[in-house]
Chain A
Amino acid sequence: GENVEQHPSTLSVQEGDSAVIKCTYSDSASNYFPWYKQELGKRPQLIIDIRSNVGEKKDQRIAVTLNKTAKHFSLHITETQPEDSAVYFCAARGLGGATNKLIFGTGTLLAVQP
């Protein structure tokens, strides 16, 4: 079945620097890759997603890139701010079995130091 690996597990950056979180997936048929942000004590919330027919998507300070050949995708946050501090989860959806099944990575704790 699908497996998603996420790195690093923790990331500390200075305010204003960029942060990059990387995920790899195993199912080459995966076609949808969302990223969720979870603040302390809150629910995961979608921040950006990408489908397999595009290679990059941007939304203000965040961007996601997808390399289907290498089966990896990355989240890029530029000009980080303290409010970006949270746990970030990547996920991948395969096409086998349940069409809605998302497999999540284990999360990255991002700490932005003021």
Chain B
Amino acid sequence: EAQVTQNPRYLITVTGKKLTVTCSQNMNHEYMSWYRQDPGLGLRQIYYSMNVEVTDKGDVPEGYKVSRKEKRNFPLILESPSPNQTSLYFCASSLVAAFRTDTQYFGPGTRLTVL
């Protein structure tokens, strides 16, 4: 089954404790992206990756890191989480062909609470 998976689905942590949220897709998509969703603000892009070893900042990258060592995986790293990073996080992926993109498919989401 074609899908985007994220782990964990729920996480409660404390300020300053490093954490990683994993994202994996089995559709051989080149493009992957991380969004955060906050009430009244919609979906805002954190980081994206056009392909392996190619990553770039989105609109709200502060406090986050990513890596893209393999095509299928795109982990989101919070080196020193703070309470303002409490949010619902979504990973998404899509194909890239001839500078056109296909539909973005979203993962199930990770609800993060930083105390």
Task: Looking at the assembled complex, report how far the CB atom of B100 sits from the nearest CB atom of chain A, in whole angstroms.
Answer: 8
A42–B35 Cα distance when bound, in Å, is 14
Q: A36, A43, A104, A105: which contacts B107 (Cβ < 8 A)? A: A43
Interface string of B36-58 (1 = CB under 8 A from A): 00001111110010100000101
**A104–B90 contact, CB under 8 A?**
no
A93–B88 Cα distance when bound, in Å, is 22
Take A45-B106, A49-B103 as given contacts and tell me if A100 and B42 are in contact as well, using a CB distance cutoff of 8 Å.
no
**Residue B33 interfacial (CB < 8 Å):** yes
CB proximity to A under 8 Å, residues B45-96 = 45, 48, 50, 56, 58, 90, 94, 96
Take A100-B50, A100-B101, A104-B43 as given contacts and tell me if A44 and B33 are in contact as well, using a CB distance cutoff of 8 Å.
no
A100–B43 Cα distance when bound, in Å, is 15
**A106–B106 contact, CB under 8 A?**
no
Task: Looking at the assembled complex, report how far the CB atom of B66 sits from the nearest CB atom of chain A, in whole angstroms.
Answer: 14
Task: Looking at the assembled complex, report how far the CB atom of A109 sits from the nearest CB atom of chain B, in whole angstroms.
Answer: 10
Closest residue of chain A to B102 (Cβ to Cβ) is: A100
Q: A42, A43, A100, A107: which contacts B33 (Cβ < 8 A)? A: A100
**A106–B41 contact, CB under 8 A?**
yes
Which residues of A line the B interface, CB within 8 A? 6, 9, 32, 34, 36, 42-46, 49, 89, 93, 98-102, 104-107
